[in-house]
Amino acid sequence: MKFSRIVWAFVLSISLNGVTNACQRHYTLDDFIPYLTASYLQQRVQEVAHRIDTDYAGKEITIVSVLEGARPFTRDLKNALKSKTQVVEVTAKSYEGTESKDLTISGLDSIYLKDKDVLIVDDICDTAKTLKKLVEKVQEKQPTSVKTCVLLMKNTSKNSTKYQPDYQAVEIEDRFVIGYGLDYDGAYRDLNCVMALKSSAA
């Protein structure tokens, strides 16, 4: 009797361990496939910069860049823009692994945006929680205008209010992507292309 209990406890612990491992699956670069090439991204950055220049003609744009993810996009967008720009940086964090979690924003309190034409620049719009929260917080600082711009617009049902940024360079499917600033647990931001998780096609 006692022995059979030990056997059951052993079997149970092995199965629970299997379930835990499956939930905590860790991905490597082999789990991702090429999705958007570097040259395609650069072409779309030029196009979005042209639209922004047309809309902001004669104005200075204060870019609020959302770190860490928007760093490469902000750099290339700033270089492509003919308009005068000033870049300030804030930090937002919401992803753990491939899951969207609670949002934290820092660095905005000390930034002066009164009477500025503000363009919030982020890497990707997914649930849109980050952009909506940032627009709300920036508006409290009484800027002249606030608009939003993302490199990637994810076509997902998680964006329940159907929020649309003012500018989006590329629309993508509901997939987890890395590269050109986008990370998986802090890794792969330095890729100059975008790659998609194989198993994340909607």
The one among 69, 72, 165, 179 contacting Mg ion by CB under 5 A: 69
- Determine if 181 is a binding residue for Mg ion (CB under 5 A): no
Rounded to whole angstroms, the Cα distance separating 163 from 127 reads 9
**Minimum distance between the CB of residue 69 and Mg ion, rounded to whole angstroms?**
4
Using CB atoms, what's the residue nearest to Mg ion? 69
Copy the structure tokens of residue 28. 């490597």
Copy the structure tokens of residue 56. 């902001």
The one among 48, 52, 118, 129 contacting ligand IMP by CB under 6 A: 129
The residue behind tokens 């992507």 is 177
Q: Which is nearer to Mg ion, 69 or 165 (CB)?
A: 69
- Determine if 165 is a binding residue for Mg ion (CB under 5 A): no
Q: Are 106 and 91 in contact (CB under 8 A)?
A: yes
Copy the structure tokens of residue 133. 């929260």
Report the 10 Å Cβ neighbour count for 170: 19
Rounded to whole angstroms, the Cα distance separating 4 from 192 reads 57
**Minimum distance between the CB of residue 195 and ligand IMP, rounded to whole angstroms?**
10
CA 107 to chain centre: 17
Rounded to whole angstroms, the Cα distance separating 49 from 79 reads 9
Return the residues of window 86-105 that contact ligand IMP according to CB under 6 A. 94-95, 100
- Determine if 179 is a binding residue for Mg ion (CB under 5 A): no
Q: Which is nearer to ligand IMP, 83 or 95 (CB)?
A: 95
The one among 64, 124, 134, 146 contacting ligand IMP by CB under 6 A: 124
For the window 36-65, what string marks contact with ligand IMP as x by the rule CB under 6 A? ------------------------------
Taken as a whole, the chain contains a residue count of 202
**Minimum distance between the CB of residue 192 and ligand IMP, rounded to whole angstroms?**
16
Q: Are 177 and 10 in contact (CB under 8 A)?
A: no
> Which residues of the chain form contacts with Mg ion (CB under 5 A)?
69
